Structure 1
Amino acid sequence: MTVQHLVVSETVSRVLLVEDDDEIAAMVVEMLTENGLQAVAVGSAAGMDAILRKQSFDLVVLDAMLPGEDGFSICRRLRASSTIPIVMLTALGDEINRIVGIELGADDYITKPFHPRELMARIKGLLRRASYGVEHRPQQTAMQFAGWQIDPILRQLVSPEGIHVSMTTAEFDILLAFCRNPGRVMTREQLLRLTHAGLAGPVERSIDVHVSRVRQKIEPNVREPTFIKTVRLGGYMFTPKVEAC
């Protein structure tokens, strides 16, 4: 199954939908194209891999229950090599599956049945944050802390060893918010407003999961974090000294 609508424009965002239900796929593709996006739908991991070898996309909408390789496995695999925003769209709506989806690297998690306008709003939100115009961004110079370098424009995180570290959109936005506010206690609600990282579930749980994943990637000792301190009844504080590169 391949459903696609191509618009000849270099500025139009391109969305890949991995969904084996033809009716849902057709509906989502139509909705996306009506909202000015390019959309391609495939029905399996194999179909996704084949089209990704030929084309690039700005966002992936991924069903969890697919024939062959399931969506959770696909999400893990995509995140290992790419920072592309991922929205999981699935009938598995319980809290555990939501958290698993986020932990594997999904940026958002929407359950079926879903309202088309909600899905469209979340897709546009992720695309907007991923391509936020330079002229509208605060503090655009690259920054460094404890040997790490973070570049708001290129959206890259580089370790002290010079290794580019893969991050989800939400993880990068949270770390960037910390770097722009070092030494300041930031509540979960503030992080939510700055990063929109709570779209995939309850605000506190979603923020905590993303912060935990950021810690796993930057902390010298994850069991005793020193970079991102938890402030009781407050939120979090980023402790390293942050300087412009």
Structure 2
Amino acid sequence: MMSEQTRLLMVDDDTELCELIGDYLENEGFLVEFAHNADDAQHKLQRAERYQLMILDVMMPGRSGMDLLQEIRPRLQLPVIMLTGRGEDIDRILGLEMGADDYLSKPCNPRELVARIKAILRRAGPKEHQTLFPDQPVSEAGIQLDPGIREVRIAEQMLELTGTEFNVLAYLMNNAGTVISKEQLTELVLHRKLTAYDRAIDVHVSRVRQKLGKLLPNSDVIKTVRGVGYQFVRGA
């Protein structure tokens, strides 16, 4: 049995499944709260310290579990188990790359879910608060980035970025003038170690540059420091 203080947040639009899984988890000694869409989950996660782990459904009406994970992961280190009814490898890979700790296909065996929750909680030690990600709006080189609403504007024009691209730009802008290594940026954004021949973070940085270039054609604000990493040029 787990401690009475172990509180979980389950985010799933299937209320019957929530009731079924919730009853099983509570019999195992967990305290469980529910959110049935991404907006409700965002509201509850404003007090993220009250939860030790989140169970997150990939497919929900409106914003998906993937969207929610992209939005919360830079600032919240809460362990996440993702659930999906699709069972496609690409979903599993994307979920893990975005920072999920584990992944189960639906319908899942509640006993297996409990085992995975306990394994993750055993591994999860106290994590250092990540201060590199901005908690307030940042303005550099004519770019206004608001981490609260996850918007980027240049001369009042909206810059359309994916969740991963937004996180790349947010880390670089918030540390303008400082070189962030590829290893560190990979861990911060993709939540995994950089491996040999791994160019994923380079691809994301390149896409951010391309999109910035359409609105800032004469400004190369992201500098490559060869053999090290990337730097947002202050005052570029």
Q: TM-score, normalised by structure 2?
A: 0.54
CA contact 2:18–2:34 (8 Å) conserved in 1:
yes
Whole-Å separation in 1 of the counterparts to 2:88 and 2:4 = 37
Aligned 8 A contact 2:53 2:80 in 1: yes
Task: Name 2:127's counterpart in structure 1.
Answer: 155
Shift of 1:222: 11
Aligned CA distance change for structure 1 residues 222 and 38 (closer, same or farther; 3 Å) = farther
Partner Cα separation in structure 1 for residue 31 and residue 40 of structure 2: 17
Give 3-state SS (helix, strand or coil) of 2:33's partner. Answer: strand
Q: Kindly, what percent of the aligned residue pairs are identical?
A: 34
SS at match of 1:93: coil
Query: What CA RMSD, in Å, does the superposition of the two structures yield over aligned residues?
Result: 3.4
CA contact (8 A) 1:157 1:164 kept: no
Measure, in 1, the Cα distance between the counterparts of 2:37 and 2:104: 19
Q: 1:93 aligns with which of 69, 80, 87?
A: 87
Equivalent position amino acid for 2:194 in 1:
S
- Aligned residue identity for 1:156: E
- Of 177, 189, 192, 1:210 maps to 192
Report the Cα offset of residue 24 of structure 1: 0.7
Q: Which runs of 5+ in 2 are unaligned?
A: 135-190, 202-223, 230-236
- One-letter code of the match for 1:155? K
Higher alpha-carbon Rg: 2
Distance 1:126-1:44 versus aligned 2 partners, 3 A rule: same
User: What residue number does 1:51 align with?
Assistant: 44
Mapped to 2, the partners of 1:163 and 1:223 lie a distance apart of: 22
The aligned residue for residue 66 of structure 1 is 60
Partner of 1:33: 26
Q: Quick one: distance in 2 between partners of 1:157 and 1:62?
A: 22
Distance 1:70 1:164, change over 3 A: closer
- Counterpart secondary structure, 1:120: helix
For residues 105-137 of structure 1, the C-alpha deviation after alignment (integer angstroms, 9 at most, x for no partner) is: 111111012111111111111112114xxxxxx
Q: 2: CA distance between counterparts of 1:89 and 1:107?
A: 11
Structure 1: gaps of 5 or more residues: 1-8, 132-153, 166-208, 227-245
Q: Separation in 2 of the partners of 1:110 and 1:222?
A: 40
Q: 1:93 to 1:50 in 2, by over 3 A?
A: same
Alpha-carbon distance in 2 for matches of 1:26, 1:34: 12
> Match for residue 69 of structure 2?
75
* 2:20 paired with 1:17: no
Secondary structure class of the residue paired with 2:34: strand
**Corresponding letter in the other structure for 1:52:** L
Whether the aligned pair in 2 keeps the contact of 1:12 and 1:36 (CA below 8 Å) is no
Shift of 1:51: 2.0
1:45–1:69 Cα contact (<8 Å) kept: yes
Counterpart of 2:192, as a letter, is H
